[in-house]
Amino acid sequence: MGSLSNKRVLLGVTGGIAAYKSAELIRCLQGQNAEVRVVMTPAATEFITPLTLQALSGNPVSLELLDTAAEAAMGHIELARWADLILVAPASADFIARLCHGEGNDLLSTICLASHSPIAVAPAMNKHMWGNTATQKNLHQLREQAVHIFGPAAGYQACGDIGEGRMEDPANLCSMASALFATGLLSGKKVVITAGPTREALDPVRYISNHSSGKMGYALAQAAAEAGANTVLISGPVQLDPPERIKTITVESAMDMLTAALNAVEGADIFIAAAAVADYRPASVAEQKIKKSDDEMYIELVKNPDIIATIATLPLRPLTVGFAAETENLEFYATKKLHQKKLDLIIANDVSDSSIGFNSEDNRVLLVQPGSSKSLPTMNKVLLANKLIEHIAALLPSSTLQTPQP
């Protein structure tokens, strides 16, 4: 069973009488805790107003490909990156044909071309249009392109005909969309993930820390849970809500995180160290607040334990995955870290780029493992997390993996 909780759904609305159902579909998606943005084709606005869908979604509705203000920031690319799922409902015969042949002559079709996210279409048309040979050929080709076809349903149509071609009911579409995020890749596995920063106390009110938001680690925990894993998230201090259906252990310091990791990792199949752990901590912590006095102050620091290296040397070690946040020579330092710490995989990103990484919704990473490396393009962290979990699952012995759900 999948979940749309915390997922970002881009709802595409094309021209057809079934566009009125899009309003109910927005409510249904939001009822499953998804965030929804809407893109409408010009024909769709003849059936339902953008204002209606904006009021329901709580976000501006995007309409034009050549919107000067939006395209100054490459708006269609940003929307393509934002979405965890693109759901076109209703999808007219015309839009299905254009999507099939890779056309990009409006905003919605261009977003589909630019996106790495799953795409699903909910056909809605007259039964004769649905049964037309050209339409069926287009649908067959879309399936080969890994586009999901939701429906259609059969029944009474606005034109008076009765037959196949009605858009699926919004509740059914929500269930189908939710199911896309349940892979079963890690069914029966235990995954432990660290996330966020650590805080190393100087005195009762001050500490040493870093800019990690925890978003990448939290997204990985959600993706692991959706893949069927028994997931444990060990989190430093972040401004994020604990994910549902995941055991979350909150910690402050690197020493706290190490203790929690050693306790949680027993029986684990995978350990992912996504936390930005402080390398050093003050040698001593003042019992009272340090007062400002001298012009200069010197703090003695001692090295913190290396959590991931400690896990990697356990007698019964899990598959061990680390992160490398670098500002230069990304592959060189990631490869060095991989070998020094005897890891199975390093996920490296360039934190000197302010558009990705710390406190950003997006990330772009390099996957480094013994003997090979692979770059992944910039995408939102939720979508990236799903792709990383797929990659990590493939590193487990094949005999231990479950067959993914269709």
Distance of CA 334 to the CA centre of its chain: 23
Q: What is the pLDDT of residue 359?
A: 62
Q: What is the pLDDT of residue 2?
A: 62
SS3 96: helix
Distance of CA 42 to the CA centre of its chain: 30
pLDDT tier, 194 (very low <50, low <70, confident <90, very high otherwise): very high
Q: What is the pLDDT of residue 318?
A: 96
Please name the residues in contact with 397: beta carbons below 8 A apart, sequence gap of 6 or more.
none
What is the H or E stretch that residue 207 is in? strand 207-208
Measured CA to CA, the distance from residue 89 to residue 29 in angstroms comes to 12
SS3 140: helix
Amino acid identity for residue 166 in this structure? R
Could you give the domains of the chain?
Answer: 8-179 (3.40.50.1950), 190-400 (3.40.50.10300)
Q: What is the pLDDT of residue 405?
A: 40
Distance of CA 358 to the CA centre of its chain: 15
Q: What is the pLDDT of residue 357?
A: 58
pLDDT tier, 73 (very low <50, low <70, confident <90, very high otherwise): very low
> What pLDDT, in 10s, does the model give residues 320-335?
999 998 888 999 999 9
- What is the average per-residue pLDDT within 177-191? 88
Q: What is the DSSP letter of 32?
A: T
Q: Write phi, then psi, for 193 (nearest 5 degrees).
A: -130, 135
| Mean pLDDT score of the chain | 89
- What is the average per-residue pLDDT within 296-315? 93
Active-site residue set: 159
Given a contact cutoff of 8 angstroms between Cβ atoms, the answer to whether 353 and 346 are in contact is no
Measured CA to CA, the distance from residue 260 to residue 275 in angstroms comes to 13
Q: What is the pLDDT of residue 92?
A: 95
Q: What is the pLDDT of residue 406?
A: 35
Q: What is the pLDDT of residue 231?
A: 96
Q: What is the pLDDT of residue 402?
A: 45
Q: What is the pLDDT of residue 245?
A: 77
pLDDT tier, 352 (very low <50, low <70, confident <90, very high otherwise): confident
Please name the residues in contact with 291: beta carbons below 8 A apart, sequence gap of 6 or more.
none
Q: What is the pLDDT of residue 7?
A: 85
pLDDT score of 226 more than 80: yes
SS3 204: coil
Whether pTM exceeds 0.85:
no
Q: Write phi, then psi, for 242 (nearest 5 degrees).
A: -60, 130
pLDDT tier, 72 (very low <50, low <70, confident <90, very high otherwise): very low
